[in-house]
Amino acid sequence: MGKKGKRDKKGKGAEKTLAKMEKKVSRRAKKEEEDLEALIAEFQSLDAKKTQVIESSCPPPSPRLNCSLCAHPERDELILFGGEYFNGQKTYLYNDLYIYHIRKNSWAKLDIPNPPPRRCAHQAAVVPTAGGQLWIFGGEFASPNGEQFYHYKDLWVLHLATKTWEQIKAPGGPSGRSGHRMVVCKRQLIIFGGFHESARDFIYYNDVYAFNLDSFTWSKLAPAGMGPAPRSGCQMTPTPEGNIIIYGGYSKQRIKKDVDKGTLHTDMFLLKAEVAGKEEDRWSWSRLSPSGVKPSPRSGFAVAAAPNNRCLLFGGVHDEEEEESIQGDFFNDIYFYDIGKNRWFPAQIKGPKSEKRKRRRGRQAEAEAAGGEELQLPPPQGPLEIVKEVVAEDGTVMTIKQVIPGAAEGKDRSGSEEEEEEEEGGALGQPVEPCPRSSAMVAVKHGLLYVYGGMFEVGDRQVTLSDLHCIDLHRMDQWKVLLEMDPKTQEWLEESESDEEEDDDVEGAEGGEEEEEESSEEESEDEEGEQQHPAVQPGEAQAQYVARTEQYWLGLARSHMGPEAKDKKVLKVARAMAKTFYEDPI
């Protein structure tokens, strides 16, 4: 059999495996999705009480991540919809709609009857049709305890001119998912990838769907060639020629029971449309090998279209698995991808020109007074890392790591200019750039990049943000703070602080106040003292003991950490407990 035949057979085998996995996940997810449908219906009954459009000035939106932020196609406004927030005990989902007035630097809340249900990790795109439309597809709803998920496959449009929501019901669309990507390409919405997760299983997608904005019909594309592996959270960018670029993303696979391995993708693909007369577009995949300096491997980055035929990537996180924990390195850097040149390069923030000129003149005068010799500075030593520590009210020390890229290559600058740019970049002064984060929301309007919200982690604590920054992508002189947030004021409830009640589910997802109750932590510790842990067998090595008793320690670790804890974290703790008992049996 020739190479082409082998590839075709391999591709068909992968499709069959994917179809089987999708059926398996669908069966197991059906039960929990049915449970959540009742909760979603209850929220929709509350939304049904809205009978008229009300736009009112309001404070900025509450902290959140995985919402959508889009620039209005005709007005100087940004549109924010949905999102989620986790306070350590409960997950809150939103379907509120906010308008940010750029010129006034103010927010307004827009209440419109019959909105989409609460969701996060959806996708939104705007088109200039009929005064502007905001299209939304998919996303997920999570139970307040974060244990169950409902993945949407619905399509909505917000008519911006008339301020009305409309659900578009058309057959043949993608299956329910979140973490997918959606862009407007000519007169189509193109959707790629994403994932579907239940309490026990998950599946990642690499399929491509198109929704025709004229005929309101779905079609599943079947591009020729080898495309990207299944993934979520990638960069998806349309080109002026009507093609689409895919970069990066994240996926995971199950190695063994309760053990998953994540993959950070760094490959790049072009989805090319080949028009053949009046027939439908034919698409094909091809791999791209860009030049320049690519972003470091990461997930949770935000993307947006940039001026001068470029797209940009902001922030993200790289999780590093250590012996007993998972440590995330968060980013706040910007990378540009030049579509025409197929080239990546890091953004350089130059600093205000007026200040640089004043300092340059001052230093030149000092040099002349010292004999006309100007001080020669060594070249930059690559990216600069700044570590800050913030102490929260409860005494938790949050370490924030910022990475400032080194100077761009191939640009002749004097030593004094390099030093001045480092100072303006925040190495020696007071930086005003957004703190490192993942899952931020970005939008570009009139050449300005706006960054809102997102999150970073400190140990088991998650800090969700609600600040707003902007920077001029033409001048790249400095970040401007439009809305500040002090991370020390972030609410965080430890699991031991209160016991959750099932009756609070609706309040939790709505964002209502919860009543705190005293925990029975001392009683649970007494019960633990009476437990008989698995004994170490004579001559048994530590690794053998850990493997043999893994399920026992997993159960014990889960009871300690609660159902909200991540599986990887629970596994790390379980293994640490097993090793500790092996070395010093109780």
- Looking at domain 27-350+433-487, which of 3.50.50.60, 2.120.10.80, 2.40.128.20, 3.30.530.20 is its CATH number? 2.120.10.80
Using the predicted structure, report yes or no on whether residue 404 has a pLDDT greater than 80.
no
CA atoms within 13 A on the CB side of 344: 17
Higher pLDDT, 188 or 319: 188
pLDDT of residue 19: 59
pLDDT of residue 388: 52
pLDDT of residue 9: 47
pLDDT of residue 145: 83
Higher pLDDT, 170 or 328: 170
pLDDT band at 370 (very low <50, low <70, confident <90, very high): very low
Using the predicted structure, report yes or no on whether residue 372 has a pLDDT greater than 70.
no
pLDDT band at 23 (very low <50, low <70, confident <90, very high): low
The Cα 344–Cα 328 span in angstroms is 24
Least confident of 196-200, 201-205, 522-526: 522-526
Tokens linked to 34: 């049915």
Higher pLDDT, 395 or 582: 582
Strands 77-86 vs 91-101: parallel, antiparallel or unpaired: antiparallel
User: 136 and 156 in contact (C-beta within 8 Å)?
Assistant: yes
Higher pLDDT, 392 or 88: 88
pLDDT of residue 6: 43
The Cα 137–Cα 31 span in angstroms is 23
Using the predicted structure, report yes or no on whether residue 366 has a pLDDT greater than 80.
no
pLDDT of residue 291: 96
Domain boundaries, the chain: 27-350+433-487, 542-583
Task: Count CB-CB contacts under 10 A for residue 373.
Answer: 8
Distance of CA 212 to the CA centre of its chain: 27
> Closest Cα partner for 124 from 83, 161, 171?
83
CA atoms within 13 A on the CB side of 439: 23
pLDDT of residue 389: 53
The predicted model scores a pTM of: 0.71
pLDDT of residue 452: 97
pLDDT band at 497 (very low <50, low <70, confident <90, very high): very low
pLDDT of residue 96: 96
pLDDT of residue 267: 97
Using the predicted structure, report yes or no on whether residue 529 has a pLDDT greater than 80.
no
The Cα 514–Cα 145 span in angstroms is 13
Strands 291-292 vs 282-287: parallel, antiparallel or unpaired: unpaired
Residues 265-286, mean pLDDT to the nearest whole number: 83
pLDDT band at 166 (very low <50, low <70, confident <90, very high): very high
Least confident of 79-88, 172-181, 514-523: 514-523
User: 223 and 290 in contact (C-beta within 8 Å)?
Assistant: no
The Cα 586–Cα 582 span in angstroms is 9
pLDDT band at 409 (very low <50, low <70, confident <90, very high): very low
> Closest Cα partner for 160 from 46, 64, 53, 50?
53
Angle between helix axes 353-369 and 415-424 (nearest 10 degrees) is: 140
Using one digit for the tens of pLDDT, what is the confidence trace for 388-399? Answer: 554 444 555 555
pLDDT of residue 128: 94
> Closest Cα partner for 561 from 89, 85, 8?
89
Using the predicted structure, report yes or no on whether residue 430 has a pLDDT greater than 80.
no
The Cα 290–Cα 241 span in angstroms is 18
Pick left, alpha or beta for residue 295 (phi over 0 → left; psi -120 to 50 → alpha; otherwise beta).
beta
Using one digit for the tens of pLDDT, what is the confidence trace for 500-525? Answer: 444 444 444 554 333 333 334 444 44
Amino acid occupying residue 288: L
Q: What is the DSSP string of 301-313?
A: -EEEEETTTEEEE
> Closest Cα partner for 118 from 145, 99, 144?
144
Least confident of 39-48, 258-267, 556-565: 556-565
Amino acid occupying residue 294: K
The Cα 150–Cα 342 span in angstroms is 38
pLDDT of residue 16: 57
> Closest Cα partner for 202 from 141, 248, 251, 154?
251
Where would I find the beta strands (DSSP E) of 275-362?
Answer: 282-287, 291-292, 302-306, 310-321, 326-338, 343-346
Q: For the chain, give me the number of helices (H) and strands (E)?
A: 8, 30
Using the predicted structure, report yes or no on whether residue 233 has a pLDDT greater than 80.
yes
